[in-house]
Amino acid sequence: MKYQKTLVNIMAVITFASGAILGMTLFGLAAWGDLEAFLFDTSFTQEGRMKLSCPVMISDQENGTVSLTLKNTTEKPIVNRVKAHFSQGYLTLMEEYFEKVQLEPREKTKLEWQVRPTNAAYGELLVLAKVRTQPTYPLVDREGSCGILVVDLFNLTGTQITSAAFVLSTFFMAASAVVWSVLNKPLRGRNLNIFHAMLTLGVLVIAGIITGFLGLWLLSAVILVVAFIVILSTAASMIMHS
């Protein structure tokens, strides 16, 4: 009986670690892609940031859509000059698009660009996108960027891959934490500390995935560092008290 409990405990820890690693890989890659896009094409200068809508991933058999919503927040008509740059297989090669958009007071419109796996740099791994708007005064120039990972996995679409990774990561962590807590009741001392570390890491991973999906790459990077600190401190504590 004791052997079976130990075995299930080990399996619960391995399952939790697998879920955490899967989630951290997911939002770590998303953060890396957005960081590379932020650094892409330094010829752009801007006074403010704006949000682009981009998929986190696409498959090597599908196209993706990068979109931007423009809104005239003033009480007079404005003209917005939009310049969009996309990687074209290499960091030094770019596709360039220009659009001139006229907006009436309080009017908004949506612009869209199609990207393909062939746009990806880094060995067809990452599509880089950067868009700049130059509106009429008093609105300021703004810039937005995003990175889109290109993945080949069992003919799944990018949305299917990211959704499956999020669900599996969350399920593995939640289920294994519940199993581990039930097997080690009452939780106190070392066992309680381990359970608290599981909860903390689970929350960090889910928060990292959400911020990664929202394009908040800097916050995702901070969460990733904190998650590694939690892992290392928990591992050190377990080794010291083993």
Q: Are 23 and 165 in contact (CB under 8 A)?
A: yes
Q: Which fold has domain 40-151?
A: Immunoglobulin-like (2.60.40)
Of 54, 59, 22, 17, which is closest to residue 38 (Cα–Cα)?
54
Q: What is the pTM of this model?
A: 0.87
Residue 110 backbone zone (phi > 0: left; psi -120 to 50: alpha; other: beta): beta
Q: Are 54 and 130 in contact (CB under 8 A)?
A: no
Q: Is the pLDDT of residue 136 over 90?
A: no
- Residue 190 host element (H or E): helix 190-213
pLDDT band with cut points at 50, 70 and 90 for residue 147: very high
Token output for 37: 């896009």
pLDDT, mean of residues 204-228: 93
Contact partners, residue 91, CB within 8 Å, separation at least 6: 40, 121, 122, 128
pLDDT digit string (tens) for 149-185? 999 988 899 999 999 999 999 999 999 999 988 888 8
Domain boundaries, the chain: 2-32+157-240, 40-151
Token output for 214: 């929202």
